[in-house]
Amino acid sequence: MPPFRSPMAIDAFAPAKINLTLHVTGERADGYHLLDSLVAFADVGDRISLRPSAALSLQVTGPEAAGVPVDDSNLALKAARFFGAGGGAIALEKNLPAAAGIGGGSSDAAAVLRAFSDMTGREIPAGASALGADVPVCLRAGAVRMAGIGDLLSPVPPLPPLWCVLVNPRLVVATPDVFRALAQKANPPMPEAIPAFATAPALGAWLKGQRNDLEHTAIRLQPRIAVVLNTLATLPGAMLHRMSGSGATCFALFADDAAARAAATRLSHEFPGWWVRAAALS
């Protein structure tokens, strides 16, 4: 481990990951699934701060900190060890619900890797997918197409200005359970080329022809996800509603910031138990 380059704390943002599409195209012999997904990132997320310290440590604060482990099972510490960090005081402000289909843990791991890289001047080692299938995509933190088991990334045209409302109904869905219960594992991929879209409605119309293949199975395991999706469908200005990842977080897409914020305000009043955020996507 080279010495720390910076005596200052390094801050890194861990944005929510949104699967605008999630096609399951097959299953590997080891049980992992082959995916084809258009991934975007929100401007809401967790925050990491890394301070030089002889010992490696993790402190978790924030509105979603309850229940988040601070021991070696936390992906933030796993990421530090993967980087080869002997020391470093990691402070994690947890704003995203855990096990929610928006990549919270993976995005935290990616932010920790970026912070250690910034602090030491050393590159992030290859093979970050060993930490979790979503970690490589979270290292990108910008719209990208994800294939393989999540480790094959290819560029996509920049997204048009786009906003969303994210809703988590406070249901936990375990990703392995959803994949295991999935009846149809070999579904068609997205078209070979993802076109450039000049406007949000054009992107929304295209996305309507795509899918999240985990949605039906997640609803079977947690029927209230259907209530969330049906509610999102009624929001004025919503172009598309869909589940992200293996759930239970769902999103609706909007062509303007004001409509997304109005939708979030309305949902927060109607469903005070739900986690609701308006966000810009990129």
Q: Of the candidates 38, 18, 37, 25, which has an alpha carbon nearest to the alpha carbon of residue 157?
A: 38
103 neighbors 16 (Cβ within 8 angstroms): yes
Residue 33 found at the interface with ligand C5P (CB under 6 A): yes
Annotated binding residue at 150? no
Residue 138 found at the interface with ligand C5P (CB under 6 A): no
Residue 39 found at the interface with ligand C5P (CB under 6 A): no
Burial class (CB in 10 A: 0-12, 13-18, 19+), 261: middle
| 134 annotated active-site | yes
The residue annotated as part of the active site, out of 17, 46, 94, 151, is: 17
103 neighbors 17 (Cβ within 8 angstroms): yes
Stretch that binds ligand C5P, among 13-21, 172-180, 200-208, 273-281 (CB under 6 A): 172-180
State which of residues 22, 35, 42, 96 lies at the interface with ligand C5P (CB under 6 A): 35
Annotated binding residue at 6? no
| 208 annotated active-site | no
Annotated binding residue at 48? no
Annotated binding residue at 104? yes
Query: Which H/E stretch holds residue 281?
Result: strand 275-281
State which of residues 13, 32, 271, 274 lies at the interface with ligand C5P (CB under 6 A): 32
Alpha helices (H) in 84-143, listed in sequence order: 104-120, 135-140
Q: What are the beta bridge partners of residue 250?
A: 167, 243
Annotated binding residue at 106? yes
Query: Which H/E stretch holds residue 270?
Result: helix 257-270
Query: Which H/E stretch holds residue 36?
Result: strand 33-51
Please state the closest distance from residue 196 (CB atom) to ligand C5P, in A: 27
Distances from the Cα of 206 to the Cαs of 17, 168, 191, 237, in angstroms?
20, 25, 11, 16
Distances from the Cα of 275 to the Cαs of 63, 98, 166, 253, in angstroms?
11, 11, 8, 17
The DSSP call for residue 22 is B
State which of residues 134, 171, 194, 247 lies at the interface with ligand C5P (CB under 6 A): 134
141 neighbors 69 (Cβ within 8 angstroms): no
Please state the closest distance from residue 218 (CB atom) to ligand C5P, in A: 13
Residue 271 found at the interface with ligand C5P (CB under 6 A): no
Annotated binding residue at 97? yes
Please state the closest distance from residue 131 (CB atom) to ligand C5P, in A: 8
Residue 176 found at the interface with ligand C5P (CB under 6 A): yes
State which of residues 133, 248, 259, 281 lies at the interface with ligand C5P (CB under 6 A): 133
Residue 23 found at the interface with ligand C5P (CB under 6 A): no
Please state the closest distance from residue 101 (CB atom) to ligand C5P, in A: 11
2 vs 31 by CB, closer to ligand C5P: 31
Q: What are the beta bridge partners of residue 89?
A: 51, 57
Output the DSSP codes for 85-98: -S-EEEEEE--SPS
Residue 145 found at the interface with ligand C5P (CB under 6 A): no
Binding-site annotation, residues: 97-107
Q: What is the set of active-site residues?
A: 17, 134
Return residues touching ligand C5P (CB under 6 A): 32-33, 35, 132-134, 149-150, 175-176, 179
Q: Which residues are annotated as a binding site for ATP?
A: 97-107
